[in-house]
Amino acid sequence: MSKSTGEPSGGLLAGIAAAPDAASLFAVTSDRLRRVAPFDAAVWVATDPINGLTAAPVRIENLQPGGCGIYWESEFLADAVNPFRHLTKSPVPVSGLREATGDRPWSSPLYRDFMRPRGFDDELRAVFRVDGRPWGQLSLFRGRYRAPFRAEDMAVVGSLSSPMAQRLRSYAQSTEAPRQPFDTPGMLLFDRAGNLTSINDEARGFLADMLPGPRAATPSGIDLPLPVWIRSTVGRARETGGNARIRMRALTGGWLICHASCLRGADDTDGMTAMTIGPAPVSEIATLVVAAYELTPREREVTELIARGLSTTEIARLLFLSPHTVRDHVKAVFAKVAVASRGELVAKLFTEHYEPLVAPESTRVRHP
């Protein structure tokens, strides 16, 4: 797609700015977007900005339960069309399926296995990114009785990419300390087909502490519905034969880290995939939280050195700056994070574990 994404309408921007949390952001933007670029079904997703993998929350509109596995697994297929991982790096992070395939949608496994059986004839997908990092993604579907998505539709959705990403990023800012999380890691084990075969009690506790969202059981193995972000992270590890992880909010208010790793047998072939779930250490969430306050690269360097206890003179020497310049950076950081001292800054960025992104409520909706 070569058309510029332009600017979103005032109504869309107002809704984005006013949304108090990610779930509300998806709901109000979906309602207003439907009026200017109609669609029949949608999947709104928050993502881990470091790797683009699905996190929470997820909002699914006008899609019946079942088929989630097909939708998410299609992202990891070699012949996937418009995979989100490619759109993240694209000059314009939005694309239509029919446009991308030269009006040959059946060349897409998503179309063959997910869309066509459900009566959908075109998909428009976009990545919400800012500063090169993806904070969310979107799939819109149109049924066979509608015309395919046009360049104008893609321009409207593309114009939302940066404002949506900025708002999603802002929710990582801290306001209150979390409740006490589990202190023992959870463990899940998946077979070569991605079926859950083993799980410990701690993992069940962490799953119960995750935000509401679409869940689906694996075709065989333990009959336990798993959040889509768990399945997509395991899918990424299976796809690459290596490791994948996401960071996400828990209902207790803290951050969790889910780490999936491919295991190999004696013959060095891929076998089981193991996932651990546990509280995210400060080092894992610092990048996300600092990004939420929109600090510049130099401000991030100064902040990290402040967290290490260095004085203004020491920071100036390490960064080859004058003490006056360092003080200017510190002043700018204090203003962005809304603190008045170095101690408050360190506490807010690196020791608090932040409020939940959304209230515990259902995220699957239907529209007449």
Q: What is the pLDDT of residue 17?
A: 93
User: What value does the mean pLDDT of the chain take?
Assistant: 84
Q: What is the pLDDT of residue 254?
A: 76
Q: What is the pLDDT of residue 6?
A: 55
Instruction: Give the integer Cα–Cα distance in Å for 167 and 294.
Output: 11
Instruction: Give the integer Cα–Cα distance in Å for 61 and 365.
Output: 5
Instruction: Give the integer Cα–Cα distance in Å for 124 and 146.
Output: 13
Token pair 């593309």 in the structure block, residue = 158
**Verdict on whether the full-model pTM lies above 0.85:** no
Question: Which CATH topology does 10-171 take?
Answer: Beta-Lactamase (3.30.450)
Q: What is the pLDDT of residue 177?
A: 46
- Number of other residues whose CB lies within 10 A of the CB of residue 320: 7
- Number of other residues whose CB lies within 10 A of the CB of residue 265: 9
Q: What DSSP string describes 298-338?
A: HHHHHHHHHHTT--HHHHHHHHT--HHHHHHHHHHHHHHHT
Token duo for residue 31: 């309602």
Instruction: Give the integer Cα–Cα distance in Å for 298 and 210.
Output: 34
Please tell me if the domain spanning 10-171 has the same topology as the one spanning 186-283. Answer: yes
Question: Which CATH topology does 284-351 take?
Answer: Arc Repressor Mutant, subunit A (1.10.10)
CATH architecture of 186-283: 2-Layer Sandwich (3.30)
| Sequential pLDDT tens for the chain (368 residues) | 434 455 666 789 999 999 999 999 999 999 999 999 999 999 999 998 888 888 888 999 999 877 777 787 788 777 788 899 899 999 999 999 999 999 999 999 999 999 999 999 999 999 999 988 999 999 999 999 899 999 999 999 999 999 999 999 988 775 444 445 556 789 999 998 888 999 999 999 999 988 888 887 777 778 888 888 998 899 889 888 889 999 888 887 778 899 999 998 777 777 899 999 998 876 677 677 777 788 888 998 898 888 778 899 999 999 999 999 999 999 999 998 888 888 788 777 765 533 332 233 335 566 66
* Beta strand ranges found along the chain (DSSP E): 41-47, 54-61, 94-96, 120-130, 133-143, 186-190, 196-199, 215-216, 226-227, 243-249, 255-264, 270-279, 364-365
Q: What is the pLDDT of residue 3?
A: 42
Q: What is the pLDDT of residue 295?
A: 86
Contact residues for 188 (Cβ-Cβ < 8 A; gap 6+): 196, 198, 199, 203, 230, 274, 275, 277
Helices 161-170 and 22-36: crossing angle, nearest 10°? Answer: 160
**For the chain, what are the domain ranges?**
10-171, 186-283, 284-351
Instruction: Give the integer Cα–Cα distance in Å for 251 and 132.
Output: 28
Phi and psi at residue 168, in whole multiples of 5°? -60, -40
**Residues 154-208: pLDDT tens digits?**
999 999 999 999 999 988 775 444 445 556 789 999 998 888 999 999 999 999 9
